[in-house]
Structure 1
C-alpha cells in the first residue's frame, strides 16, 4: 500500500511547470500534492508500470533532476521512447517503508498529447557528463555514515538542498529518473537472488582493492585504529551504483562474480529497495570473468612455540548435517594449513535448527574434526561450553556458540577446569583463570540473545609457554537501517550492545595484563563491527590490545572478510597484546568473498596468523 509525504506547499494548482521545477533542488518536491498541467518532456524509457520523462527545457542547475518517473500502467501504451509529449498529473512522493527515501513522481497522468515522435534519446554519460563523489553520502551525516548517535535527522524531515558535487546520495538524487549510460563496468559484489549487483565504471573511485572491489576505509585511505582520529571520516564508497532489474522484463545473471566485467549499461536512475540503482534497459551481459581463486595460506606452524598458528573462522550456522561442512573442513586443512588452534564462531548444536532442547555440540565439532583429518589436516580435539537453550540468539533451535579446535600434539589447556553456561570466569593471580575454558560475564545483560565470549589459557605440550585466547561473536547488526536510507546517520544496528560487550571483554583483558603486563593475549572472532567504529575503538583503547592487521602492516585496502552492499568490509578481527604481536604474521584467506554465494560455504572469510609464544 502506498504512503505519501505530507504536502509541502499550499500553492494553487500549477500550470506549465518544468520537470526541474517539479523536482526542485532538494529531495522532496516543492509541488508535492499538487496537480500540474502542460508538463512537456521527452520519453526516454518505459517500464511495466510507467515511463520516464526528460525535460525539453532544462535549467543550468545540476541539483535539479531534469527527469521524472510517470507512474500509471494505463499510460504506458500511449507513449513510445522518443516521443515528446505534454501531460497533466499529480506530484507525489512515494515510499513503501518508513526507512526508505521518497521517490518524486507524477501520478494519475492525463491529457497526454504526443507533440512529435522519433526524437533522439541520448543518455547522460556517467564519468563524462557527470561524475559521482567518492567519499561522503549525505550532508546530514556530518561526513561519517557510522557516527554515533545514529538517526539524528531524517532526509524526509530536513529535506536538505542537494549538493551533488559533494555527496553521493545527492548526486544520484539529482539524476533521479534520468536515462544514463555506464561504461567500463566491473562488478564489485556478489549478485543477489534477483541478479542485482553493484558496479564501478569509468569514473573515479576510492578503496579499490586487488580483486577489483571497493574496500570500506577510514578517511578514504587508512583504517588502522592507532592512526584513526575521532575527527576522521568513513569512506563507504558512494560512487558505486547498483544495477537492478531490467526494464524489459529480462533477468540479470545470478552467477556473476566479484571482478567480472560487463557490457556498457544504459538505464534509468531510481531509488528502490534501499539503494539508488540503475534499472537497465535489458539484462547485464558479462564480457570477462575474474577466475582468480584464493590460494592456500603461506603461513604454516612448525609445531614449536616459535611458529604457532592460530586461525579464526565464522562457519555460518554449522551443524553435522550442513551441506557446507566438508568445504569448511577443506578450508581449515588445506587453506589455513591446519592451525594449532582454530577459533570458530556459529557452531550449532548437534541437531542444528531443530528446536528440541538439545544444546550440546560435541557431534558437530567431532564431525568437523574428523572431516579435517580426512582432508589431510591435524587430528583435532575440541572444547566448548554449551549455552542455555535459546539464549544465544541466531537461528531458532541452533544454539550457536563459539568453540575451539586444537591440535593436542602442539598445545593443551593449562590446568583444565571448564566452567558452565552461567559461571562467570575470573582472572586469578598468576595470572590464571578460575575456569579454563570459561565464559566472560555470561549473565550480564550485554549478552542477551548473543553469544558469550569463551576465554582459554593454553600452554605448549611441554608446559613451558602460556598464552590466552578470547573467542568472540558480538551482537549482530540486525535492526540497522539502509546506508542510503532516510535515517542519517544510518542506524548501525546493535551498536550500543556491541559497545557494552567490547567494554566487558576489554576489562577482562586488562585484568590479565594487570597481573602480567607481558602476558600473551589474543582476542579474535566475528566482532560484527569495523575497526574504526565506536565498539572497536572502545575495545582497543580499554583493552590495551592492538589489531593485528596494523601490527603486521596488512594493506588497508586488503583488510576485508565480508561483502555487504557496495563494500568489502572487515567484521572479523584479531587483536593481540604487545608481547604476542612481536614478529607475528597474518593473512586473510578470501575463499568465500571471491566466489558466488552458492559456492561459498560461509559468508565470512577465515583468517590465520603465526605467533612466537615462547617464554
Structure 2
C-alpha cells in the first residue's frame, strides 16, 4: 500500500467521525447528515479525475437508490496522487458548497488527507442510464405542488426543507441520488443549441415526453422535461464543439453526474463526438395569402435587438420576404433606435425600419411602409441605449391604417363609441405603472384599400423573465421572473380588448407578439379568460409538441403567440417557421422563430361570425 500524509495541513489533526461509507455521508436527502464534520477511513474506487478533484465510488454500496454511492473529493493537490481504478481510503471534511444562494448545494469531501491506496487497476464500470436507472419524465421536485410554474413562486427551498429523495417520482431527486456517480448515456440526440462552452442538453435511451418532430423536447402544461440532461465541460480538458444542431446524434457518453451552474449535468470524460448531423433546414411557410380580405396574412417576429447595422438584418429581411412570403402586416418586436445600443439620446427608428424594408424589397418581398411610436429615452428596458419598441411593417398595396393619427409615447389610445381609436396607431395606457421599464403595446386599426374591411392588431412585447431562477434550483417552485408584472400587463391588454369588443362584439382583433410567457401560465391564462380571445394554435389544432418559437435550457417553448377574437376566427391558418431554432447561433437571425397566419377579415352581417373549430386536436390544418 502507498500512503500520503495530510495534503492540507500536516501539523493539524482534526477530530473525525469513525469510518463511514459514502452512502452514509450523502444520506438520503439533499444535505448531508454529516455536514461540517470530519470523516476518516472513507473507502472507495476512483472513477474519474478532474482538474480540481476526483470522484470516489463506495466499495460497500447499500441497497437504497436514494443514497448516492459516489462523491466528489475536492482538492487539486490530491489529484496527482490517485489514478482511475485505485481503491483508496482517505480522511477529509464533509462540505456543502454552492456559489450562489439560488443554487443547490453540492455535497463533497474537502481537504482530503491520509490517502492510502489499497489497490490499483480495478475495473471502473459506469451505471447505465435507461437500463439500470431511468429518470422520471414530468415532475422536477415534490416541493413544486406538481407545477414548476405554480404561483406564488419560491414558497420553499430545498436547502431548508431538505426533502428525503424519491428518485422514482421526482427527476431532481433522481439526478441528486446519482451525484458524483460515473454513468453511461447511450443512443444520444442533441436537443438544444450549444452554448459558448459547447454545453448541450441531450436525450438518450430512456423514456422521454414532449418529443417533437425535429427531435427536441417541447414543454407543455405541467411537463418541462426534467428527464433531459446537460452535457458539460469534459474532464480531460478538451472542448465540445459549438456548431452542433438540434437533432444531431452523438457517441455514447461516459461521465459523472454533478450539479453545476444551475443544472444537473454529466461531465463527460472527453469531448462529445457528433456521429450524424441533422441537416434538415426550415422550409418556407406553406401559407401563401392572396392579399384579399378573405386571405390576408399577418406575421409576428421578435427580431432580437435589430438596428440598421445589426449583423442579422439581412437574415431577418430574407426570412420575412422568402419564408413568411411578405405578410400584408408584419408585427415586429425588439426594433432598436437608429443608433442601436449607443446611448446618445436618439429614439427614432426610421433608419432601422427603412433599412429593413429596403432589404426585404431587395430580397424579393413587398415594398413596405412602416409605423411606430418612439419611446421616451431609456424608459422601456432592453439593451441599454437601444430603446427597443414594437413596430409595424405593412404593404400599402393591400392595407392601410384607418384614419391614421399617430400618438406619442405618453398618449393613450382609447376606444370611441364608433369602434374607432383616438390614436391610430396608439399605445395602450402607456403611463400605467405596469409598463415601467417595459415596452408598451401598440394598437392599430387597419382596413383594406376599399375601406370596407376593418380589423385591429395589438402588437405586444411583455416584460422579460429576467430575475428568474433555474428550474433545477433551490427555490421551489422556481422563480418565474417578473411573472407578476406580466400578469398586470396582460390585464391592461385584456381590458383594452374587452372595451373594444363591448363597443363592437364582432370586431376582428389579433393580439400578437413576444409575450415572454407560456399559454399554460397565469398571465396568458388571465389574458384569455378576461379578453375572450382564443389562441390560434388551439383553434387550428397544432399539436402541443410543435408549438415552439424559442429554445431555453432543455426545452423547446412558445413565447410568441397569436390570440384572436371570435370575429377573426373564420378560416384562420397559422404556422411557426423554425428558421432560427433549427440552426446554431451563428446561422440564426434571431433567438425567436417568426409566426405567420392567414386570416379572413371580410366584413359579414352581424351575427354571421363563428369560431372555426378546426380538426381534432393533434392535427395541424394548413
TM-score (norm 2): 0.94
2:377 is aligned with 1:389: yes
User: What do residues 283-338 of structure 1 show as CA deviations (whole Å, max 9, x unaligned)?
Assistant: 00000000000000111111210100000000000010111111100000000000
- SS of 2:80's equivalent? helix
Match of 2:319 in 1: 331
Q: Distance in 2 between matches of 1:75 and 1:414?
A: 75
User: How far apart are 1:518 and its partner, in Å?
Assistant: 0.8
> In the alignment, which of 44, 50, 54 is matched to residue 53 of structure 2?
50
Q: Distance in 2 between matches of 1:187 and 1:356?
A: 42
> In the alignment, which of 85, 89, 93 is matched to residue 92 of structure 2?
89
User: What do residues 350-378 of structure 1 show as CA deviations (whole Å, max 9, x unaligned)?
Assistant: 11111111000011001100100011100
Match of 2:255 in 1: 267
> In the alignment, which of 468, 477, 483 is matched to residue 480 of structure 1?
468
Q: Distance in 2 between matches of 1:471 and 1:79?
A: 61
> In the alignment, which of 439, 444, 455 is matched to residue 427 of structure 2?
439
Write the mapping of 1:202-281 to structure 2, written as runs, cut at 5 A. 202-218=205-221, 234-281=222-269
User: How far apart are 1:571 and its partner, in Å?
Assistant: 0.2
- SS of 1:312's equivalent? strand
Match of 1:6 in 2: none
Match of 1:128 in 2: 131
User: What do residues 201-242 of structure 1 show as CA deviations (whole Å, max 9, x unaligned)?
Assistant: 000000000000000001xxxxxxxxxxxxxxx100000000
Match of 1:162 in 2: 165
Q: Distance in 2 between matches of 1:597 and 1:326?
A: 15
2:517 is aligned with 1:529: yes
User: What do residues 244-282 of structure 1 show as CA deviations (whole Å, max 9, x unaligned)?
Assistant: 000000000000000000000000000000000000000
Match of 1:455 in 2: 443
Q: Distance in 2 between matches of 1:582 and 1:489?
A: 39
Return 5+ residue gaps in structure 1 as ranges.
Answer: 1-11, 219-233
Write the mapping of 1:247-396 to structure 2, written as runs, cut at 5 A. 247-396=235-384
Match of 2:482 in 1: 494
> In the alignment, which of 20, 24, 33 is matched to residue 21 of structure 1?
24
> In the alignment, which of 140, 145, 153 is matched to residue 143 of structure 2?
140
User: How far apart are 1:579 and its partner, in Å?
Assistant: 1.3
Write the mapping of 1:407-422 to structure 2, written as runs, cut at 5 A. 407-422=395-410
Coordinate RMSD, CA, aligned: 0.6
User: How far apart are 1:13 and its partner, in Å?
Assistant: 3.5
> In the alignment, which of 540, 553, 556 is matched to residue 528 of structure 2?
540
- SS of 1:394's equivalent? coil
Q: Distance in 1 between matches of 2:260 and 2:384?
A: 31
- SS of 1:376's equivalent? coil
> In the alignment, which of 542, 547, 570 is matched to residue 582 of structure 1?
570
> In the alignment, which of 558, 565, 588 is matched to residue 570 of structure 1?
558
2:546 is aligned with 1:558: yes
User: How far apart are 1:53 and its partner, in Å?
Assistant: 0.3
Q: Distance in 2 between matches of 1:582 and 1:303?
A: 16
2:74 is aligned with 1:71: yes
Q: Distance in 2 between matches of 1:410 and 1:48?
A: 64
Q: Distance in 2 between matches of 1:357 and 1:49?
A: 48
- SS of 2:513's equivalent? strand
- SS of 1:148's equivalent? coil
User: How far apart are 1:141 and its partner, in Å?
Assistant: 0.5
Q: Distance in 1 between matches of 2:276 and 2:394?
A: 42
User: What do residues 77-117 of structure 1 show as CA deviations (whole Å, max 9, x unaligned)?
Assistant: 11111111111110000011101100000001111101111
Q: Distance in 2 between matches of 1:370 and 1:578?
A: 35
User: What do residues 143-170 of structure 1 show as CA deviations (whole Å, max 9, x unaligned)?
Assistant: 1000000000001111000000011100
Q: Distance in 2 between matches of 1:493 and 1:168?
A: 22
> In the alignment, which of 99, 102, 114 is matched to residue 102 of structure 2?
99
Match of 2:117 in 1: 114
Q: Distance in 1 between matches of 2:311 and 2:555?
A: 28
Q: Distance in 1 between matches of 2:323 and 2:179?
A: 46
User: How far apart are 1:14 and its partner, in Å?
Assistant: 1.4
2:68 is aligned with 1:80: no
Q: Distance in 2 between matches of 1:350 and 1:297?
A: 30
- SS of 1:502's equivalent? helix
- SS of 1:88's equivalent? strand
Q: Distance in 1 between matches of 2:482 and 2:589?
A: 26
User: What do residues 530-569 of structure 1 show as CA deviations (whole Å, max 9, x unaligned)?
Assistant: 0000000000000100000001111110000000000000
- SS of 1:156's equivalent? helix
Match of 1:153 in 2: 156
Q: Distance in 1 between matches of 2:50 and 2:253?
A: 16
Moved over 6 A (4+): none
TM-score (norm 1): 0.95
Q: Distance in 2 between matches of 1:370 and 1:456?
A: 23
